[in-house]
Structures are given as structure tokens and as C-alpha cells.
Amino acid sequence: MTTTDPDTIRVLIGDDHRIVREGLKQVLADAPDVTVVAEAPTGHEVLAQVAALCAPGGAGLGLVLLDIALPGIDGLDVLQALKREHPRLPVLMLSTYPEKQYAVRCIRLGASGYLNKSADPDDMLAAVRKVAHGGIYLNAATAEALAVAVGQARTQAGPEALSHREHQVYRLLTQGHTVSEIGAQLGLAPNTVSTYRARILEKTGAKNDVELALSAERHARHAEPGQATA
């Protein structure tokens, strides 16, 4: 076992962009109570690193900083796997997407917080400390997104109504991918993707993929004012 100060927050950064990882390490290096012990550019590597660090005799881990957009296994799937295998390990999600698009989904899947990559360094450190010590980090934009989601729960309309897998398909459809391409990327049969597509159209009220893409664009545009951090 490590002889590191037990009060030190040991962090793993999961992000596929080296420049982002280096920037995060620089921010965290300014905090005497935080140390980055590992980094991983893919979802598979995040899971492997966490397994090694958390295994008996491993060095230990206090927090995972996890990007949503990871190659191979996306961040939301990695989050679900981490919560199954290491339910007490805090995960703070990072993204360039506005809080309105993903924060609620991340919290529902077990994340302890959601932070936009454009956040102020002080907010980043505050989030890391709060989450590592068992808290839930909600900035003003995330709290607002959660409040809106609760208010929309009865109507079940829009992207917030989609299941995790439906949302994955939804995101790829709105990016212009075909059913076959989506099936290959997610490991699903084309017929299965078509079934998800039908459910998505029903839940969002869109009549076709064009309307779906336009709806997603409007949804993202309306989310922009909520990006400011607390």
C-alpha cells in the first residue's frame, strides 16, 4: 500500500485529448491536497486503471474525472460500469456540452457532479474536493437543469425522456449517422437501431430525422444561457 498522506485526494483523469489532460493536471497541481495518480485516453483504459488502483494492494483512488466523449466506450457507459464495479468511488463528469444536455442524465446514472470544461479553476477544485469527500457538486446551471427535468417528468417529452441507450442513438442520429453506422458504432443490429429510432421519434414528437436534428439544435441553443458556473 502507498504511504501517501491519507487526506490527499487521489485523482484519475479520463479524457481522450492530451492537451485537456495536461490542463487539468496543471489546475489540480496548484492544490496541495490533490494529486493526479493516473490518466487514460479511452474508456477501456479508464476501467483498467481503476481496477488496478482499487484492487487489494493497489495504490488506491479517491475520484475519477471523466469526460463524456471518449472513444471506444463513451463516458456514460464507463460511468455505469464504474458504479456497478465500484459503487462508492466518486465520479465527476466533464464535458464541453451545456449542462442542460447531459447533467441530469449523468446524475441519474450515478455521477456525483457535472462540470463544463470551461469552468473556472477555482470551481474545478471546489467540485473535486466536494465530490471526493462524499458530496454532490451542483453549480447553478446544473441545479437549474435538474429543476427543469423534475418539472418535465410528467410530460415525458424531449431528449430528457430518453433512456440511456435511446439517447446514444439520438445523439448519433442528430449528427447525421445512418442506422447502419450507428449499429456498427454501438454494437447493435440495424433492426434494433431502427426500433430505438422509432421510440425516439415518438418521445420527441419529431416526424423524421430532419425534424429530430432541428429539434436537437434548438434544444442545444436554448441551453446556452445556462452554461455560466456558480
Q: Can you give the pLDDT at residue 112?
A: 93
Half-sphere exposure of 191 (CA within 13 A, CB side): 0
The residue with greater pLDDT, 211 or 200, is: 200
- Taking the C-alpha atoms of residue 88 and residue 190, their distance in angstroms, rounded to an integer, is 36
- Taking the C-alpha atoms of residue 39 and residue 41, their distance in angstroms, rounded to an integer, is 7
Q: Can you give the pLDDT at residue 150?
A: 61
**In terms of Cα–Cα distance, which of 131, 92, 119 is closest to 227?**
119
Q: Can you give the pLDDT at residue 154?
A: 46
Mean local confidence (pLDDT), 105-126: 91
What are 146-163's pLDDT values in tens digits?
A: 777 666 544 545 676 788
Task: Tell me if residue 94 falls in helix, strand or coil.
Answer: strand
What are 185-198's pLDDT values in tens digits?
A: 899 998 899 988 88
Q: Can you give the pLDDT at residue 105?
A: 83
What are 24-74's pLDDT values in tens digits?
A: 999 999 899 999 999 999 999 999 999 999 999 989 999 999 999 898 888
The pTM for the full model equals 0.69
Q: Please check the confidence at residue 229 and state whether its pLDDT lies above 80.
A: no
Cβ-based neighbours of 142, under 8 Å, separated by 6 or more? 99, 103, 107, 113, 114
